[in-house]
Structures are given as C-alpha cells and as structure tokens.
Chain A
C-alpha cells in the first residue's frame, strides 16, 4: 500500500506560550478531523508529529490517519530548530518506504514546519543535511507568533507563509488548508501536475 506521509514539525518554545500553542493544538485537532472525513486521506495518509523546544521530541511516530491519536502540546524553554530538523531527517530516512521492483514505495512526503523562526541552536547544517537526504520532500514553513523572523523560514523552503493573527480561527483555517493540500495530493496521483488542459 502506497502511503502519503505527512510530517508536522512544531515549535513548542516559550515564545509560543498561551494563545499560540493553544491555537496550534486546536488547529491540529481540526486538521485530523478533516483528514479522517476524507476517504482518500483515510486510506493513504499517515501523520508524524515532532516538537522542538529545549530538544526535539517525537510526539507521534508516523501513524496511519485512521489510527492517529491527538497528542497534547506543552511548551519548553529554548528553540532547538536544528534538533527538530535532525529528528525529522532521521525519521524520514527511517520511515519512508522506497520503491523496489517488488514493492511500491511511498508518495513524496509533505512536511509542515510551524515556528516563530527564532532558533537558539545551530540549525543551518541540519537544514542542509535534510535537503540533501530528502530532495523529494515537499516542505512548507509557516510563521507563527508575534515576532516571526521570516528570513529563517525562507531559508528552510521556497514555500513559506506567515500567520499574522494568532487566534484559533486563523489556525483552524491554516490547518484546513494543509489538510486540503494533502487531499489534493492524494486525489491527483499520476496527474503529473496537469489537472486541467
């Protein structure tokens, strides 16, 4: 069974405390709910959640959507983005099934990085390694918080977005966007990007 793996890397540093982390929590809940209502995502999707604060934690290992249980997020001092990227790199290497003549491998993984872009560790080398190891990963960086450094996000990927409002409605909307991108990825297999003439 060919899976569509989705990795969510969440900044749980102290700068995310309060409203921001609550909104991420509520939004993620909504995303999972949406994914479970979609037969394509339910059949093919698998989600992994990694958080980074002081260090990095794999909150939920890559789990098929139907079996996914919502984790609870909690904040910690520090913004170890580098550690988070390292864990993401290792997880991708360990989880992803590559095609062999005998087995169909997974689809390109989708990665969503939610951060305020104020890392406190050395992250550039980890970002480089991640790119080298996983060229096929489709990475989205989403700026969250009151004081986002978008330059960091732009270094991570060409697809970076800013969440200006930190209320839960905005986050819900963001996560619905994410879930619909997962759905369209699973709905447009083999289209080679040519949906319409």
Chain B
C-alpha cells in the first residue's frame, strides 16, 4: 500500500496510508503510517464557510481551550482536529488517533463470539442493558461509579465547549467514546462545531438525541424562521439523554405510547419530537411502562433488561437529590422548553456532589458495587436490593460566606473506608475540575474504622477544630472520633466549611 505525503495548511508534513480504514457520515478516514493520527477527507466539496469553520477549529478555538491554563487536561477529553490538508481536490482534517483504552480488550462474552475485540467502544454498547449485560464480556461492563465518572467527564467537556461559546451539535453515544474500565470519556467528531450566529450546523443530530424542537421542525425549510437547528440548547438535551441512559440504561422518551399505527417512522418522529413525553412523567403516565409490559414486549431479553427498565423498581429518584432535580428540569419542565433545561455546568456540579453521596454495596457480588444514599434510616442498594448493615457516618457540610454564620448548603459526604476530604470539601470556593492546582488534589483528611468506631484523621488542614470539644485544635495526624452531632470546623476563611456529623445505625 502506498503512503501519501502532503503539506498541511500550517506547513507541516502529513502522511497517510492510502487505504480507507473507516467511513463516517461525511468523511473517509485514513491512518498515518505510525497510526498516531488519522486523516479524514470530506467526500463532498466544502464551501468557503466550511473551510473558515475548520480553520477556526484547528486554530483559534483549539488554542482557546488547549492553550490556556489547565489546557493539558483536555487532551484526553477531546479528539480535536489539529491540521487541515488538501488532496485530490478534497479537504481533510488531521485528528489524533483514539487512545488505546477506547478499543475493546476482551470484547463480547464467551470468548468474544461477536468478534468485536479491537473495535472502538462506541457508547451504544453501554447504554442498552441487552447489549451491556447480554452481549459484552463482564470485564468490559464497569460498575455504577465508572458511569458516574464517565458522565462527569462528558458534562465537563460539554461545559468547556459551551463556555467557549461553541456547541457540539451532534452529541450522541456515537460521538462520545467511553471506557467503563477506567471511567474515561472522549468527545469525537468535533469538526461539526456550531458557533451561534457564525457557523450554522451541518447535521440535525443522531436519532435518540435530537432535541424535540429540532425533530418537530425537521420538515420545515432551513430558511424558515420557525425551523429549529442544533445549538447549545439542543446539546443540553442530548447531554441529559446521555447521562440518563448511562446511569439508568434506558431511554427517557422511549416508552409504551404509540402515536401513529400506520407509519413507524412518523411514530418515531412524534415520539422524539412534537409528542415527546418523559417515561417517568408523574402527571401524564401514558408513556410509562411496567415490568409486565416489558416482559410481553421483550420475552427473550427480559432478564437482561431487569432491573434497569423496571421504572417502578428503579425510578430516577435513585440518582439522589441533586441529579433528580436536574432530570426533572431536563425531561419534565424543559423537554419542550429549552430555556428551562439544566446547563452542562449544572450537570457537572450535581454529578460531582452525587459522587460524595455514594455508598458501597455490602453485597460483594453486586454488579454495580455503589449506589447513592437514599437519605433514609434503612439504605438499600437499588440494583441488587441488599440492605446496608452497620454504622453510617454522614457529614453534613455547612459553609461560611463573608462574616455571616455557617449555613447548611444541602451538601453531604458519606463516610466509608477510603473516603478522603480534599480542598473542595474544606472550602466551597474550590471546585474539583480542570482548574485544580496539583496542591489542591492532595488528600487533606481520611477516615478510619477502629473497634467499632469511626475516626477522622487530619492530614493537612491547618485550622481544624473540634467545636463540640470547646474548639480544641485537631493538629496534623491527630484524630477525632465521629459521634452524633459532633461539629468539626475545617476552615474559618470565606467559603470555609464546618462538618456536622450524623450517625445512622442501620
């Protein structure tokens, strides 16, 4: 096979092996000889506006995200086009090859009978319980914490795009690679970025993720003022669908309701567009299904669908208070009203806070290992139904704003072996994201279980005090016992936090 050598528009040399390795909706893709990057050529001729957009993507926008403080952080999160090339009259982009972890290692179950080893981990494999639990090798599946991490990364990447004034326009499990083994996610197909008022979208999106307003106006002329096209608002819908699907393994709008008995394509269009209705909508339950319906509809696959698609057993409330609120806003209040949809920033914040509410399942054979504390005296794993037994310390965080007294902020941290406190627990003005300094990622306190009691060990908080013991200083490497009602001061600075300990005996 011959290798083609080219000069990119930035003057650098680009090489590719003249054999198509993949064909997407718009491009044919080739490997570089060392496989460290790929070159994708647009099959159709690209006009001046498209070229201008690509130049901005590989230039200004890329520089804006990767060139600023913390830019290195995004290298793993996006597969961002780096150069533009031209060959045989076709325009192409040079994009880094996907990291190795985004290709199947074990593949499908029973020794990879589907022969998918080495194939890309397209998100679809992990968003359907039939595919995930019925087809994939157990080692590829990951547990619930892995998907929470994946969702944090996706929300964070989308938040960064949006804060730069960009919209992805085609977020879907096709365009986000994920790796449940390491809890990683990477956004791909960035060459279709939308800039409001400057670069309009090329595609309407991918089925399952197209926002209702786009689907509803699909048949209007692109010049019609009522035609809705992909934007930041539709990204917000797609992001909500991705998160709901990865955490609950079902589609939020795909229920039992049939809108058109004669034309199934029109039925799909209505179900995802004009008539879109959340399967868990509390006031209109016409799209809701139950386990009996599910079994009738999928007799051969039912065992793989449980408990995920049993809405009664696993309602969205199992996602905990922060995420439940956003699910409600995304699929009830904001489904047909884009202005009310949660932003990517809202999702990132809620997902991160939810990770502090995780509890370990005591059933060692539970496939999910983790679940969100349900704020009751009898917490039970919603996935395997095992009740938690033992003492459960919960830290209720209060924070200080200016010179005002400490106030509760609806933020809790569950304590179990391995939990640590970090800078973002000590002060509410620190947020765990790409902007953290290496200093801020150090553990500042840990928890130990000894002779039936839980202790907090100070590993690096200078002003820690036991308020319940007359403000006694808890120095470095000193411990304090966690007891009901104990108050521990972490920081008195602006944004500083105070812990109010709650002990739940289950």
Partner-B contacts on A (CB < 8 A): 1-2, 33, 36-37, 39-40, 42-43, 64, 66, 98-108, 187-192, 194-197
CB-based contact B219/A101 at 8 Å: no
CB-based contact B297/A1 at 8 Å: yes
B422 at interface, CB cutoff 8 A: no
CB-based contact A42/B204 at 8 Å: no
Chain B residues in 8 Å Cβ range of A103: 258, 297
B487 at interface, CB cutoff 8 A: no
Q: B201's closest neighbor in chain A, by CB?
A: A197
CB-based contact A33/B124 at 8 Å: no
CB-based contact A98/B135 at 8 Å: no
CB-based contact B261/A37 at 8 Å: no
CB-based contact B115/A33 at 8 Å: yes
Q: B300's closest neighbor in chain A, by CB?
A: A64
A2 and B265 alpha carbons, distance in the complex (Å): 11
Chain A residues in 8 Å Cβ range of B269: 190, 192
Q: DSSP class of A's interface residues: helix, strand, loop or mixed?
A: loop
CB-based contact B135/A42 at 8 Å: yes
Bitwise, B254-288 to A at CB < 8 A (1) or not (0) is 00101011101111110111000000000000000
Q: A39's closest neighbor in chain B, by CB?
A: B124
Chain A residues in 8 Å Cβ range of B128: 39, 43
Q: A39-B128, A42-B131, A189-B265 are in contact. Are A194 and B218 (CB under 8 A)?
A: yes
CB-based contact A197/B204 at 8 Å: yes
Q: A43-B131, A191-B204, A197-B222 are in contact. Are A37 and B265 (CB under 8 A)?
A: no
Chain B residues in 8 Å Cβ range of A194: 204, 218-219
Q: A39-B131, A42-B131, A105-B261 are in contact. Are A192 and B298 (CB under 8 A)?
A: no
**Chain B contact residues (Cβ within 8 angstroms of A): what range?**
35 or more
B301 at interface, CB cutoff 8 A: yes
User: What is the minimal beta-carbon distance from A180 to any residue of chain B, in angstroms?
Assistant: 9
B387 at interface, CB cutoff 8 A: no
Partner-A contacts on B (CB < 8 A): 25-26, 114-116, 119, 122, 124-125, 128, 130-131, 134-135, 174, 201-204, 206-208, 210, 215, 218-219, 222, 229, 256, 258, 260-262, 264-269, 271-273, 297-298, 300-301
Q: How many residue pairs between the two chains, A and B, have CB atoms under 8 Å in the bound complex?
A: 95
Chain B residues in 8 Å Cβ range of A107: 264-265
20 inter-chain pairs at a CB distance below 8 angstroms, sorted by A residue, are: A37-B114, A37-B116, A37-B119, A39-B122, A39-B125, A66-B135, A99-B258, A99-B267, A101-B261, A107-B264, A108-B265, A189-B268, A190-B215, A190-B269, A190-B271, A190-B272, A191-B207, A192-B218, A192-B219, A194-B204
A137 and B34 alpha carbons, distance in the complex (Å): 46
Q: B44's closest neighbor in chain A, by CB?
A: A196
A2 and B26 alpha carbons, distance in the complex (Å): 28
A192 and B122 alpha carbons, distance in the complex (Å): 24
Q: A39-B122, A195-B25 are in contact. Are A104 and B267 (CB under 8 A)?
A: yes
User: What is the minimal beta-carbon distance from B466 to any residue of chain A, in angstroms?
Assistant: 54
A167 and B265 alpha carbons, distance in the complex (Å): 37
A189 and B134 alpha carbons, distance in the complex (Å): 23
A187 and B203 alpha carbons, distance in the complex (Å): 14
CB-based contact A106/B201 at 8 Å: no
Chain A CB count within 10 A is highest, among B206, B219, B222, B258, for: B258
Chain A residues in 8 Å Cβ range of B210: 190
Chain A residues in 8 Å Cβ range of B218: 191-192, 194
Chain B CB count within 10 A is highest, among A40, A42, A98, for: A42
User: What is the minimal beta-carbon distance from B423 to any residue of chain A, in angstroms?
Assistant: 40
Chain B residues in 8 Å Cβ range of A102: 256, 258
Q: A190-B207, A196-B203, A197-B222 are in contact. Are A104 and B264 (CB under 8 A)?
A: yes
Q: B221's closest neighbor in chain A, by CB?
A: A197
User: What is the minimal beta-carbon distance from A7 to any residue of chain B, in angstroms?
Assistant: 17
A40 and B131 alpha carbons, distance in the complex (Å): 9
Chain A residues in 8 Å Cβ range of B135: 42, 66
A195 and B205 alpha carbons, distance in the complex (Å): 8
A68 and B257 alpha carbons, distance in the complex (Å): 30
